[in-house]
């Protein structure tokens, strides 16, 4: 009899452990606010109950679901593509900002500003079919490594956020990415990594045209899914105001405020605050990437959830779990 | 013993009947081709097997999922809105094509051409927030009746197509609408009627802007989701080439050919051919709505499925089932 009791007890402990929610989140303000929110809006007897069809959760990508330092990873992709394509473009040796890229002179590249970066993006992201571009992105994400972390870029996703995505989906939320990054850069790999279908990934768009039964990528910017563009992108792709929004920068602020202003439902807004200069990077108000300034003030005043990565996350990246 | 056998046999018959696929489709070429296709691509042991994530099916709306005669139903919506808003616009009494609408002079309205229709659309579809527009559309779809059929427009959906949508979803296809109609006109009601989430409804778009925590509708056409626009809309919203496409007109031809050219998978293309002048309308090559000419020739040559509504559908509309 005692033996059976112990076995049952062991099983119970195992079960508890196996189903623990958000396991790499330390007990604390953020985990509590997330779970309180989800419990409230999924409880049929609560006045805060939200029907499943309206449980729309939107996530920024860069800096929210994966790292974004020292520059957006899509920029590294562009750099790597310039190098890979340079033999077909001998003129790049004497044309900025391509020359600087090939010479590894990142200061000059950055100094070329928006116009220079745009040239790099167009030269590396267009002029082929969408299916050809997919193949190039998949090859890169499977092989290219981060310059200082020395792991695949897709290994630099945040373990606690993967758990949060899962937790929300288990509670019948539909999860979307709403990123300033390129929609066609994310879709080929992000779907698998985050468990989000391709049609639930929203991002900036370049022009395409239909030609010879193919979608062909045209060197013209069509839509910037950042700042006030995020609510617009949500409108076109989702068609409903979200109830939960997750970001890390002022670029996400409009999307989060748009969510907060949902006239029908209780909402959740969460900022990932980059406070960990050891395991990840520490930056906010003064950063050249993912600047969080106006949003941080507003979040504090309006009781949004602010995640202190250093204090609240047991691990940052999935590979830390194996140690 | 015999009694048990009969009971089991009855149960079996009941089970068969209850789960009969596509019940309002007569046995015949179209039903066979649909079921053969679905059986082939969902059979793990078949060389035609398609993984669930790639089972993308796209449906035109007007003329494919519901009727479109004598004109697109969204046009009736615009007409009804002009009448409803006329007291706030005394100038419409002397301005075409509004004057003609208010006088019920449809000949003059139609003669005003694309420019006139565009004026009617912009005056009735913009200048408010998206949420205000949703409410107007929902009110209309719940009350307005078709001029000759005298039922709600949403009752003029095709019962056999509702069954087809369900049948595909039961086989783990993801179903999308890809319509020339307005995305924001369809989303408020089509989601419920067709069992398709709002974010899987794609259509033509007008410009919007983010202002005062709201999406505001701007009187400017942004995207026409018709003809070569359909593959483009599919690219932006779905991000994957479909494997099955359903349409009824030359406007769907590019989307269907884009699907047919899927380099990885066996595909299905199906045209709904309007052959029933009693229960619905009969039209194709010469029609001013949903013209099917080039597509019909190509479909015949390339072994696409062509549904003869009159012969192959036991009923057209759901309300016929109650009789």
Question: Which tokens hold the place of A86?
Answer: 């340079």
Minimum Cα–Cα distance from A258: chain B residue: B213
A5–B contact, CB cutoff 8 A: no
B264–A contact, CB cutoff 8 A: no
Partnered with residue B217 across adjacent β-strands are B208
Which residue's entry shows tokens 């269907």?
B256
Residue B20 pLDDT grade (very low, low, confident, very high; cuts 50, 70, 90): confident
Q: Residue ranges of chain A with pLDDT lower than 50?
A: 16-17
How many alpha carbons fall within 13 Å on the CB side of residue B133? 28
Q: Is B58 helix (H, G, I), strand (E, B) or coil?
A: strand
Determine the pLDDT at residue B9.
55
Q: Are A200 and A169 in contact (CB under 8 A)?
A: no
Candidate from B201, B232, B257 with C-beta closest to A208: B232
Per-residue pLDDT tens digits for B21-78? 999 999 999 999 999 999 999 999 999 999 999 999 999 999 999 999 999 999 999 9
Determine the pLDDT at residue A179.
98
Q: Is B174 helix (H, G, I), strand (E, B) or coil?
A: strand
CA B234 from chain centre, in angstroms, equals 15
B228–A contact, CB cutoff 8 A: yes
- By CB neighbour count within 10 A (0-12 exposed, 13-18 middle, 19+ buried), where does B22 fall? middle
Residues 6+ apart with CB under 8 A from B122: B206, B219, B220
A254–B contact, CB cutoff 8 A: yes
Alpha helices in B86-239 (DSSP H): 98-102, 106-111, 113-125, 130-143, 159-170, 183-194, 229-237
Q: What is the pTM of this model?
A: 0.93
B chain contacts of residue A236, beta-carbon cutoff 8 Å: 183, 205, 208
Minimum Cα–Cα distance from B182: chain A residue: A236
B chain contacts of residue A228, beta-carbon cutoff 8 Å: 209-210
Determine the pLDDT at residue B198.
96
Minimum Cα–Cα distance from A203: chain B residue: B236
The Cα–Cα gap between A59 and A62 comes to 10
Residue B262 has pLDDT above 90, yes or no: yes
Determine the pLDDT at residue A8.
56
Determine the pLDDT at residue A319.
96
How many alpha carbons fall within 13 Å on the CB side of residue B158? 31
Distance from CA of B60 to the nearest CA of A (A): 17
Residue contact B241–A213, C-beta within 8 A: no
A7–B contact, CB cutoff 8 A: no
Q: Is B63 helix (H, G, I), strand (E, B) or coil?
A: coil
Question: What's the mean per-residue pLDDT of chain B?
Answer: 94
CA–CA distance from B26 to each of A85, B283, B312 (Å)? 57, 21, 5
Residue A114 CB neighbours (<10 A): 7
Residue B49 CB neighbours (<10 A): 13
Q: Which of B130, B199, B242 to mutate to test the interface with A (most CBs of A within 10 A)?
A: B199
Give the closest residue to A240 by CA, choosing from B229, B124, B200: B200
B215–A contact, CB cutoff 8 A: yes
Q: Which of A199, A214, A216 to mutate to test the interface with B (most CBs of B within 10 A)?
A: A199
Distance from CA of A267 to the nearest CA of B (A): 14
Candidate from B130, B237, B257 with C-beta closest to A213: B257
List of domains in chain B: 22-71+152-322 (3.40.50.1000), 73-143 (no CATH)
B271: enclosing H helix or E strand? strand B268-273
The Cα–Cα gap between A93 and A79 comes to 14
Candidate from A208, A236, A261 with C-beta closest to B213: A261
The Cα–Cα gap between B290 and B15 comes to 39
- By CB neighbour count within 10 A (0-12 exposed, 13-18 middle, 19+ buried), where does B152 fall? middle
Determine the pLDDT at residue B176.
98
Q: How many CB pairs under 8 A join A and B?
A: 84
Minimum Cα–Cα distance from B184: chain A residue: A239
Q: Which of A213, A224, A243, A260 to mutate to test the interface with B (most CBs of B within 10 A)?
A: A213
Residue contact A240–B198, C-beta within 8 A: yes
Residues in chain B: 323
Which residue's entry shows tokens 């974010």?
B199
Determine the pLDDT at residue B322.
78
B238–A contact, CB cutoff 8 A: yes
Residue contact A199–B201, C-beta within 8 A: no
B chain contacts of residue A232, beta-carbon cutoff 8 Å: 208-210, 215
Candidate from A205, A214, A235 with C-beta closest to B130: A235
Residue B17 CB neighbours (<10 A): 9
CA–CA distance from B320 to each of B27, B30, B158, B161, B164 (Å)? 19, 21, 10, 14, 17
Minimum Cα–Cα distance from B133: chain A residue: A239
A201–B contact, CB cutoff 8 A: yes
Candidate from B215, B231, B239 with C-beta closest to A199: B239
- Counts for chain A of helices (H) and strands (E), in that order: 13, 8
CA B240 from chain centre, in angstroms, equals 20
Please tell me whether the peptide bond between B18 and the residue prior to it is cis, using omega within 30 degrees of 0.
no
| Chain A, window 116-175: residues with a beta carbon less than 8 angstroms from a chain B beta carbon | 130-131, 174
B chain contacts of residue A187, beta-carbon cutoff 8 Å: 239
Candidate from B174, B215, B239 with C-beta closest to A187: B239
Question: Which tokens hold the place of A89?
Answer: 């473009």
Residue B267 CB neighbours (<10 A): 20
Q: Are A26 and A311 in contact (CB under 8 A)?
A: yes
Candidate from A198, A213, A232 with C-beta closest to B215: A232
């Amino acid at each position: 009899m005692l033996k059976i009791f112990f076995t049952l007890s062991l099983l119970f402990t195992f079960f508890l452990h196996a189903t623990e929610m958000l396991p790499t989140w330390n007990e604390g303000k953020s985990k509590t606010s997330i779970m309180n929110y989800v419990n409230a809006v999924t409880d049929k007897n609560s006045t805060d109950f939200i029907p499943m069809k309206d449980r729309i959760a939107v996530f920024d990508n860069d800096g929210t679901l994966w790292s974004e330092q020292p520059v957006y990873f899509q920029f590294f992709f562009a750099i790597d593509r310039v190098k890979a394509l340079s033999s077909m473009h001998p003129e790049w040796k004497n044309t900025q900002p391509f020359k600087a890229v090939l010479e590894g002179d990142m200061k000059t590249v950055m100094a070329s500003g928006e116009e220079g970066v745009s040239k790099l993006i167009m030269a590396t992201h267009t002029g082929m079919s969408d299916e050809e571009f997919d193949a190039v992105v998949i090859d890169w994400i499977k092989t290219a490594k981060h310059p200082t972390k020395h792991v695949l870029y897709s290994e630099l996703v945040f373990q606690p956020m993967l758990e949060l995505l899962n937790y929300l989906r288990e509670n019948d939320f539909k999860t979307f990415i709403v990123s300033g990054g390129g929609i066609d850069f994310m879709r080929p790999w992000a779907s698998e990594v985050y468990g989000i279908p391709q049609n639930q990934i929203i991002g900036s768009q370049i022009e395409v045209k239909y030609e010879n039964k193919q979608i062909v990528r045209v060197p013209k910017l069509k839509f910037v899914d950042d700042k006030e563009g995020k609510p617009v992108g949500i409108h076109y792709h989702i068609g409903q105001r979200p109830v939960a929004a997750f970001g890390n920068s002022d670029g996400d602020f409009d999307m989060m405020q748009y969510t907060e202003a949902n006239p029908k439902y209780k909402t959740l807004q969460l900022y990932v605050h980059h406070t960990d200069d050891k395991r990840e990077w520490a930056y906010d108000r003064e950063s050249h990437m993912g600047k969080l300034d106006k949003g941080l003030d507003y979040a504090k005043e309006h009781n949004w959830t602010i995640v202190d990565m250093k204090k609240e996350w047991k691990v940052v990246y999935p590979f830390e779990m194996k140690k």
